[in-house]
Amino acid sequence: MRGVKILERLLYTIPIMFGVAVLVFLFMRMTPGDPVDIMMGEAGTVAPGEMEQLRKEFHLDEPLHVQLYLFLADAVRGDLGYSYAYKKPVTELIAEQLPATIELALGALLFGLIVAVPIGIWSAVKQYSVVDRLSMAGAFLGVSMPAFWLGILLILIFSVKLRWLPVTGRIDYTAGLQVVTGFYVLDSILTGNTTALVSSLKHLVLPSVALGAGTAAMVARVLRSSMVESLRQDYVILARAKGVRETWVVLKHALRNALIPTVTVVGIQVGVLLGGNMIVEQVFSWPGLGRLAVRAIFSRDFPLVQGVVMVYALTFVLANLLVDILYTYINPKITL
Amino acid sequence: MQTTQTTVPWWYPLALRLRIWATNAAGFLRDLAGHPIALTGGLVVLLYVAMAIFAPQIAPHDPTKGELLRRLEPPVWAGGSMDYWLGTDAQGRDLWSRIVFGSRISLWVGFVSVAISAIVGVLLGCLAGYFRGALDEVLSRFSDLLLAFPYLIFAIAVMAFMGPGMTNLLLALTFKGWVEFYRLARGEMLSEKTKEYVAAATAVGMGHLRIIVSEVLPNIFHSVLVLATLRLGVMIVTEASLSFLGLGIQPPTPAWGSMVSEGRDYLTTSWWVSTLPGLAILILVLAINVFGEGLRDILDPRLKIE
C-alpha cells in the first residue's frame, strides 16, 4: 500500500516539473532582446553566419509553441542544451558540479542537526532556564543572520585571524585525491587517503557552518516548541507514572512525536539550503552548482542558467517527496 | 403632515469605525508596552525608517563620492578619525554615510515587495477561498508550482533573465512572494466562510464583494499583518543576498549587500568595510523578527511558538 502511495506522489512530481520547465522556458523567452545577440555580444566578434546557425540550433527561427515543444522534448531526454561559456553540454557541467553542492548541503544539514537536536531537547526539558533562554536568543540571531555575512565573519575569525581553516575551495591539490564519486570526503575514505580526508573535512567546516546556522536555528526553535507540547501529553505522564526512566521518557516517548513538525521544517530547510548554497558557494569559492549558476548568469549563458534552475527545482521537489515518505515511517497514522 | 424620522447622519458609521480602530490601536499599544522585547524591536525598526527618510540630513558625506587619499581608513575606535567614524571603503567613501543611504534601498524594497505580495496574495486568496471552483483550482496549482522553486533561486533566476534594476528587483521578489499570503488568505477564507456572520450577511442581501471586503477581511487582517512583518525580514535578506551577488541595485547606489561584497577583497587588511554593512542588516532583520514575533503573540496567539 505504501509503495503505491509513494509511486503516486512520485508521479505527481511529473506535472510539477513540467510546469517548472514551461515557466523557465517562458522566462528565458521573456528576456528583452535576442538571446543569441546578447550571448554573442558578450563573447565578442562573431560572424553573422555563425549567429544564424546558433539561432537555428536554439530553434529561435521556429514559432514559440514549436520552440517550447522542442525544448521540452529535449529536456525529457535529459538534454538541457549546450553551454556557450564552457563549450560543453549543460548536463555534463551539472553532473560535474552537483556532488560538490550536495556535499556542502549535507555538511550544512549535519551541522544544523548536530547543533539543533540537543539544544532543542535540552531547552524543552529545562524550559525557561538560563540555557534555554540563551539558546533561544542564539536561535533568533541565527534565523536573522544573512548567510553571506556569517560566512565572511567566519573567514575573518577562523581563516584570517586564527589561521585554523582554509578560506576557499574544497581540497588542497597537494593531497593528491583520486576522484571516484566527486564527493571528496567519501572519495578520500574510499581510496584510504588520510591527508585528503583531513583536507577535505577542513575545507568543508566553514561553508557548512555558514550555510547550516540558519537551519540549526529554525530546527532548534521548532523542536523545542513541539517537545514542550509533547512533554505535556498524557502518555508522557503515564510513562513517568509507570516508572520509566526520565531519559527514556524524553528520548523515546516525547521526542518521537515531537519529530513530526521537526521533519516538516527540515524539509523546508532543504530548499533554504539549496538557495543559500548559491550564496555560500560564492563566499567560499566552493566549486558547486551555485557558483556555476552565478557565473552563468554573468556570462549570460542562458542554457546553463535554465538547466541549473531546473535541477534545483527537481532536487527541491524530490527532497519534499522524501520528507513526505519519511513522515509515514515516523507516524504510521499519516498517509501520503 | 410631515413624518418625523430620525436619520443617522452620513458620517456616523465612519466615526463609529474610527472609534473602534482607535480603541483597538490603544489596546494594541498597551499590549505592546507589556512586551518589552517586541517594543524594543519596533523602536529599532522605527529608527531605521527615520534614518532612511532623513538620510541626506544624517549622512555627513556624499555616499557615492570618495576621497582617494583617505581610502580604507579604520573606524574611530580602531585608530581612525571622527571625520569618518565608521571608516572608509576602498574608494575612500564614508562607510557611515553609505550605510545610512543603504537603508533606503533595503527598507523600500522590503516594504514595497511585502505590500504588493500581501495585496495580490490576500486578494486572490480571498477570491479563491470564497468562490472556489476553477479559479481556486488554477491559482492553487500555480502556487504549488511556484513553491517548487526555492525562494532565493527563483529570485536569482528572475533577475538573471530580466536584468538588474528596481522594477525587476520588485518583480523578482513579488512574483513568488504572494504565494504565502495567498495560502493564508485562502485557508482563513475557507474557515471564515462557514461561520454564522457570513451566513447572516448573505441573508440580509449583501453582495459577495462587500462580504469579502467589509465582513471577512477585517477578521483575517491580524494574521495577514503578522505574516507581513515576518516576511519583511525575509525580503530584506533576499534583497541583500541578491545585491551581494551583484544582481540587485547597481553601484554606485549604496546597498548593504553589495557593500559587504565589495569589502571581501580587503578582508585581510580592512575588516570593517565588509562587516559593518552586514551588521546593519543583522540588526534590522533581528529587530523586525523580534517585533513580528511579539506582534504574533499579541494579535494572533493561536500561532504562538512556545
Of A144, A275, A302, the CB nearest to B152: A275
Name the more confident of B247 and A84: B247
Chain CA centroid to CA B79, Å: 37
Cβ-based contacts under 8 A for chains A and B? 136
- Identify the band that residue B151 occupies on the pLDDT scale cut at 50, 70 and 90: confident
Name the more confident of A311 and B284: B284
Contact assignment for A225 to B306 by CB distance below 8 Å: yes
**pLDDT, tens digit, for every residue of A180-205?**
888 888 888 888 888 888 888 999 99
Check pLDDT > 50 for residue B127: yes
Of A145, A152, A309, the CB nearest to B264: A152
In chain B, the percentage of residues whose pLDDT exceeds 70 is 96
Please report residues of A whose CB lies closer than 8 A to that of B275: 149, 152-153, 156
- Give the total number of structural domains in chain A: 1
Check pLDDT > 70 for residue A333: no
Check pLDDT > 60 for residue B168: yes
Contact assignment for B161 to A305 by CB distance below 8 Å: yes
In-domain check, residue A6: no
Give how far B292 is from chain A: nearest CA, Å: 12
CA-nearest residue of chain A to B158?
A27
Instruction: Please give the pLDDT value at position A232.
Output: 85
Report how far residue B232's alpha carbon sits from residue B238's, in angstroms, rounded to the nearest whole number: 10
In-domain check, residue A88: no
Question: Which string of b and e fits A184-209 if b means at least 16 CB within 10 Å?
Answer: bbebbeeeebeebbebbbebbbbbbb
**pLDDT, tens digit, for every residue of A13-57?**
888 888 888 888 887 777 666 666 666 665 556 677 777 777 777
Instruction: Please give the pLDDT value at position A293.
Output: 86
Report how far residue A81's alpha carbon sits from residue A83's, in angstroms, rounded to the nearest whole number: 7
Check pLDDT > 60 for residue A79: yes
Contact assignment for A140 to B289 by CB distance below 8 Å: yes
Contact assignment for B150 to A271 by CB distance below 8 Å: yes
C-alpha distances (whole Å) from A315 to each of A89, A159, A278, B179 are: 20, 32, 14, 20
In-domain check, residue A81: no
User: In terms of C-beta distances under 8 Å and separation of at least 24 residues, what long-range contacts does A73-81 make, across chains too?
Assistant: A75/A21, A75/A310, A80/A303, A80/A306, A80/A307, A80/A310, A81/A303, A81/A304, A81/A306, A81/A307
Instruction: Please give the pLDDT value at position A44.
Output: 56
Of B233, B271, B275, the CB nearest to A144: B233
- Identify the band that residue B270 occupies on the pLDDT scale cut at 50, 70 and 90: confident
**pLDDT, tens digit, for every residue of B209-244?**
888 888 888 888 888 988 999 899 999 999 999 999
Q: CATH number, domain at A173?
A: 1.10.3720.10
Instruction: Please give the pLDDT value at position B306.
Output: 42
In-domain check, residue A210: yes
Of A19, A160, A279, the CB nearest to B267: A160
- Identify the band that residue A149 occupies on the pLDDT scale cut at 50, 70 and 90: very high
Of B141, B152, B271, the CB nearest to A156: B271
Instruction: Please give the pLDDT value at position A152.
Output: 93
CB atoms within 10 A of CB A5: 14
Give how far B246 is from chain A: nearest CA, Å: 9
Instruction: Please give the pLDDT value at position A41.
Output: 60
Check pLDDT > 80 for residue B124: yes
In-domain check, residue A50: no
Report how far residue A162's alpha carbon sits from residue A154's, in angstroms, rounded to the nearest whole number: 10
Contact assignment for A309 to B275 by CB distance below 8 Å: no
Of B244, B285, B305, the CB nearest to A225: B305
In-domain check, residue A144: yes
Name the more confident of B198 and A180: B198
Which SS3 state, helix, strand or coil, does residue A89 take? strand
In-domain check, residue A53: no
Chain CA centroid to CA B125, Å: 19
Please report residues of B whose CB lies closer than 8 A to that of A140: 286, 289-290
Mean pLDDT of B97-111: 94
Contact assignment for A297 to B305 by CB distance below 8 Å: no
Omega within 30 of 0 (cis) for the link into B252: yes
- Identify the band that residue B142 occupies on the pLDDT scale cut at 50, 70 and 90: confident
CA terminus-to-terminus distance, chain B: 68
Instruction: Please give the pLDDT value at position B100.
Output: 94
Contact assignment for A221 to B305 by CB distance below 8 Å: yes
pTM score of the predicted model: 0.87
Please report residues of A whose CB lies closer than 8 A to that of B245: 278-279, 282, 294
Least confident window among A150-164, A219-233, A315-329: A315-329
DSSP state letters, A151-202: HHHHIIIIIIIS--S-SSSSS-GGG----SSS-HHHHHHHTT-HHHHHHHHH
Instruction: Please give the pLDDT value at position A246.
Output: 85
- Report yes or no: A113 and A220 within 8 Å, Cβ to Cβ: no
Instruction: Please give the pLDDT value at position A46.
Output: 65
In-domain check, residue A216: yes
Contact assignment for A305 to B160 by CB distance below 8 Å: yes
Check pLDDT > 60 for residue B2: no
Estimate the crossing angle of helix B133-147 against helix B166-193, to 10 degrees.
130
Least confident window among A218-232, B45-59, B103-117, B120-134: A218-232
Question: Domain range spanning residue A193?
Answer: 97-297
Mean pLDDT of B175-195: 90
* Average pLDDT value for chain A: 83
* Average pLDDT value for chain B: 87
C-alpha distances (whole Å) from A258 to each of A25, A134, A219, A265, B132 are: 41, 21, 11, 12, 34
Please report residues of B whose CB lies closer than 8 A to that of A317: 148
Residue appearing with cell numbers 581540497? A171
CA-nearest residue of chain B to A221?
B305
Check pLDDT > 70 for residue A334: no
Mean pLDDT of B28-35: 84
Which SS3 state, helix, strand or coil, does residue B10 take? coil
Report how far residue B106's alpha carbon sits from residue A209's, in angstroms, rounded to the nearest whole number: 26
**pLDDT, tens digit, for every residue of A282-327?**
899 898 888 888 888 777 777 888 888 888 888 888 887 887 787 7
Of A19, A152, A275, the CB nearest to B150: A275
Give how far A91 is from chain B: nearest CA, Å: 18
Give how far A81 is from chain B: nearest CA, Å: 17
Q: Which helix (H) or strand (E) holds A83?
A: strand A82-83
CA terminus-to-terminus distance, chain A: 10
